[in-house]
Amino acid sequence: MMEKKKKKKKILKKKMNNNEVIFRSLGTIQRSEDLESRNIEGYAIVFENYSRDLGGFTEIIHRSAITEEMLLNSDITMNVDHDDSRMLARYYKGEGTLELELREDGLFFRFQAPETALGDEVLYNVRHGNLFECSFKGIAPKSDITRYRTEDGYIQEINNITHLFDCAIVVRAAYGSTSVMSRDMESAQEQFEEIKREVDAAEAEKAREEIERAVEEANKKILDDLDTLKNDFLSEIK
């Protein structure tokens, strides 16, 4: 699980109309000590923890981002590397071979590895520590994404996820060489450029407003001083 960090932040919100696809590798798999069990479990999403560097920015998903109502209306698969042709289990509106549990610290999952070649392969690699991280794919409204810059860099906060499509056991948690992970990297880079543009524009607008306010205050002071001098002068010549 990723280390929680405190970040001094200067929040600059901006509302946007469309949605953003989130393609993230954030969760962990918990290895079972029972070698007879085919159970695989862990966290697909971890709440209130900053991610690793996602290509110029870090991300945090808040506890409010996932709701029971959203889960109970979802069709979510557990795949390998987000590949629907490599499905291991499925959650459909609260039922199925994939168990999902909304906890305070994240979205917990559990399933039994199917007795198939893929299931055996995944189970072997989980038991031996070759596979240990998870990911998810979903959609968050951009109006529910907060972006800002701190002394440590750009931050993106996810406050609401409206759709969750899959959870996945991934080979590389950040950006790997598979086509899915390549899309993940491209998506993150595009998001970083968007975050940078948005925050920089907001900061520039804020600076412009501060300058205009300072100029206005300076002009007012000059006028007040002139009025004082004028009144003093008129008083002296009377």
Among candidates 66, 105, 206, which has minimal Cα distance to 149? 206
Instruction: Report how many domains make up the chain.
Output: 1
Does 225 map to a domain?
no
What is the Cα–Cα distance from 78 to 76, expressed in whole angstroms? 7
Residue type for 48, please?
E
Does 57 map to a domain?
yes
Choice between 231 and 22, residue whose per-residue pLDDT is larger: 231
pLDDT tens for 178-212 read: 223 333 545 555 666 776 677 777 766 676 777 77
**What integer pLDDT is reported at residue 171 of this predicted model?**
83
Q: What is the DSSP letter of 30?
A: E
Does 219 map to a domain?
no
**What integer pLDDT is reported at residue 185 of this predicted model?**
47
Query: Phi, psi at residue 84, to the nearest 5°?
Result: -60, -25
Tokens at 139, concatenated: 């959609």
**What integer pLDDT is reported at residue 101 of this predicted model?**
95
Choice between 86 and 9, residue whose per-residue pLDDT is larger: 86
Q: What is the DSSP letter of 153?
A: E
Domain, as residue range, for 53: 9-192
Does 235 map to a domain?
no
Q: Is the dihedral of CA 221, 227, 232, 237 positive or negative?
A: positive
Does 207 map to a domain?
no
pLDDT band of residue 227 (cuts 50, 70, 90) is confident
pLDDT tens for 90-132 read: 999 999 999 999 999 999 999 999 999 999 999 999 998 899 8
- Check whether 233 has a pLDDT greater than 50: yes
Does 199 map to a domain?
no
Does 222 map to a domain?
no
Does 55 map to a domain?
yes
Supply the pTM of this predicted model. Answer: 0.66
What is the Cα–Cα distance from 109 to 101, expressed in whole angstroms? 6
**Is the distance from CB of 161 to CB of 139 less than 8 angstroms?**
yes
pLDDT tens for 8-66 read: 444 444 334 466 666 555 677 876 677 778 999 998 888 998 887 777 788 889 999 99
